[in-house]
Structure 1
């Protein structure tokens, strides 16, 4: 009896060991698959720029020291044979000490000096004139802060990113209809195509570009929140593929890992900012004019958030 009992125990241990080994192998394969898909996507996304350290920085940001940093997000409508224009310009400042992110939408018609082009024009024309580098330099000059990194999003492909996370839920503050699609007021769930229409709509909104900026921020925040959830990890291949095809950045893989490790709590509190001004026709061209005192107010708030002296 004892011998049979011992044999049963040994058999049970062998079976248990095999099951545990199988689970470890599967976990390892899954983990490697996730890692490989992520690194491949980041390699595709990475696009370095020819730009020296900003004059507004004494030294480069060190993520290990949890230093505040900034990112310029550009939503670009890419066209064949044409660089396109950055119709969406959003500046993020990230402060891990305050555990907050400030998100400023810059109206695309804002009149300012285009650094490196020798002219005053709409701020979104900087991208058409000189690409990422000129956009970063122009926004730095306009806001008087260093722009450390950029994130360029292909707006046509943005719907793929939304679909990859299974759609997003946003809070809509305006009832409107575009191309037969009705967007009721309140909390609504959008697929990729709907999210793109929702974030682009401008003419049905009396607030014009400001209303559009609010909707863009809603969608971006929803994507970040949904993409960071554990439930979305099951779609990692689709998510990473969509990111790799539609996003360009000068961040490298190790920097992204450091940001996730040292700054993730800051993503829990995103504080929207806006900049006030008035529309004005200059030589029959519409511009958004920001008064000096308003510009100074925004600059001071961002500089304080970046802990710049």
Structure 2
């Protein structure tokens, strides 16, 4: 049974990392679009209308107003990748939370592994994997779960389909990367060695960008190497989005994004973010939920299921960092500094 679970996990691996890259992009896209506003205002307004989510959470936003955004108040975004297929309720296979602080000039980005073991909100201690929350009650329940888990309010959400990255990279005419490895990797159709990456500077199309970002096995740095390539893909794509040649491809870019993106961000909020927060995308701090794999028997599934259990001290540290970054508790940082001083003195 465990071997079957591991095999299934490998098959889903491509989808998980593909969406993870896309989700990281959604916090950057509103910032880049602001540069184009003066030239393509009408098209952008139509685009913003199209990507508005049909199911809005009334309490979402936690009192953050447009004026607060214009004044540079920190905010959080839940970046959600949902695998929905015809006739299936779908699952949120990828979740990332970004907190944005313009005064500090950076973004903190934490990925919550899809197999993370959590206690479902509103139950009497019922356990499940976090990616199952979408199947229970859609995006609002995912938001509630993430808020409980990370102990921060979620201001905005953005939900995207993995095919969006392929289309978007192709729409901007490709991206440039500088690979320190040469390797071959399968494509989105799972054809082995269909994509060849050379060592050095090169131009990649959408499929090649996916292959470049998702490869892990041939990288001696493992997941760390893959994360570095993901950041490179994101930054290169951002550079293309704000370059002059983007103006010539503006409509194809919007057509590539619109069918694959849903958000509760309003157009005026995106403009405010683009003007006030754009510089933060140059400094993205990735936080990692380190932990250990396990197998737990779930009565609902009738079998042992693979789960990821983050170390308690790691989870607590990330919660504190995000709370401080959102300026939820101004005393947190000074408290941590005092504690650090005491520990140093003790040594």
Q: Into which bin does the TM-score normalised by the smaller protein fall?
A: 0.7 to 0.9
1:111 aligns with 2:126: no
TM-score, length of structure 1 as denominator length: 0.79
The residue that corresponds to 1:60 in the other structure is 64
Q: Which runs of 5+ in 1 are unaligned?
A: 1-29
Pairs within 5 Å for 1:148-159? 148-159=155-166
Q: Distance in 2 between matches of 1:144 and 1:291?
A: 16
Q: Distance in 2 between matches of 1:158 and 1:258?
A: 25
Q: Distance in 2 between matches of 1:205 and 1:129?
A: 37
- Over the residues paired in the alignment, what is the CA RMSD in angstroms? 2.8
**TM-aligned CA distance change 1:121 to 1:185, over 3 Å:** farther
The residue that corresponds to 1:299 in the other structure is 319
Deviation at 1:142, TM superposition (A): 1.1
The residue that corresponds to 1:44 in the other structure is 50
**TM-aligned CA distance change 1:100 to 1:33, over 3 Å:** closer
Q: Distance in 1 between matches of 2:179 and 2:93?
A: 21
Q: Given that residues 98 and 107 in structure 2 are in contact (C-alpha distance below 8 angstroms), is that contact kept between their aligned partners in structure 1?
A: yes
Deviation at 1:246, TM superposition (A): 1.1
Instruction: Tell me the alpha carbon deviations over residues 184-227 of structure 1, each in whole angstroms, 9 at most, x when there is no partner.
Output: 45655321122233444566678877765554444333323321
Q: Which runs of 5+ in 2 are unaligned?
A: 1-35, 186-191, 298-303, 330-347
The residue that corresponds to 1:273 in the other structure is 287
Q: Given that residues 53 and 60 in structure 1 are in contact (C-alpha distance below 8 angstroms), is that contact kept between their aligned partners in structure 2?
A: no
Q: Distance in 1 between matches of 2:218 and 2:119?
A: 30
Pairs within 5 Å for 1:61-140? 61=65, 62-116=68-122, 119-140=126-147
Please tell me whether Structure 1 or Structure 2 has the larger radius of gyration of its CA atoms: 1
Pairs within 5 Å for 1:1-309? 34-53=40-59, 57=62, 59-61=63-65, 62-116=68-122, 119-170=126-177, 172=179, 176-178=183-185, 179-180=192-193, 181-184=195-198, 188-201=202-215, 215-283=229-297, 284-309=304-329
Paired positions, count? 278
Deviation at 1:260, TM superposition (A): 0.8
**TM-aligned CA distance change 1:128 to 1:153, over 3 Å:** same
